[in-house]
Amino acid sequence: MNQPIWHEPLVTRSQRWNKHGLAGATVWLTGLSGSGKSTVATELARELLNTSRLAYILDADNLRHGLNSNLGYSDDDRIENIRRMAEVACLFADAGLVAIVPIISPFTASRELARKIHTDRQLRFIEVHVATPVDECERRDPKGLYAKVRSGQMTGLSGVDSAYEPPTSPDVVVGARGETLPESVEMILRSLLVKAGS
């Protein structure tokens, strides 16, 4: 069986970054459904835009319409979904963008793999735990998923009838102490060493 051969680009990352003033990284937002991951991601992208930093949100639901459309919600499929998301984020970060990934990513091992994919390629990976309590997530229930689980219409919701393993040592924690959206974004920007509004 043929094995793929890695081709080292002749235009290097440092050349690309230095030429355009870029510094790629991935911000990985993990948390329960309804925790506010997408809201934080959107505001973070907007603030990075204000600071002239290129950023792109890799929305997990959106990628299930294309790249990950062949995956379901079994544990194995979720693991593969996260692996693919990490690989794509790594490409974006290598290009010089800040890849923002709001994804439940319920398993510790998968998040560790996502980090390893980045560290092996010497790219920054910032794990943000959007630690909104489950009762608040259920109160918000923006997609109606908690209601469907409670009524028996669906199963497999992380943190309710499926596992969610919270990070034990994330780089940033937001949502646990009632931080406002601007405060949460500011905490992430500090981790990225970007000053808001500058």
168 burial level (CB within 10 Å; 0-12, 13-18, 19+):
exposed
Strand partners, 55: 98
Spatial contact of 82 and 105, defined as CB atoms under 8 Å apart: yes
Helix (H, G, I), strand (E, B) or coil at 161: coil
> Residue 67 is which amino acid?
L
Spatial contact of 132 and 37, defined as CB atoms under 8 Å apart: no
Q: Which of 33, 35, 38, 105 is catalytic?
A: 105
What is the 3-state secondary structure of 22-62?
CCCEEEEEECCCCCCHHHHHHHHHHHHHHCCCCEEECCHHH
105 is an active site residue: yes
Spatial contact of 15 and 86, defined as CB atoms under 8 Å apart: no
Q: Which helix (H) or strand (E) holds 98?
A: strand 98-102
Catalytic residues: 105
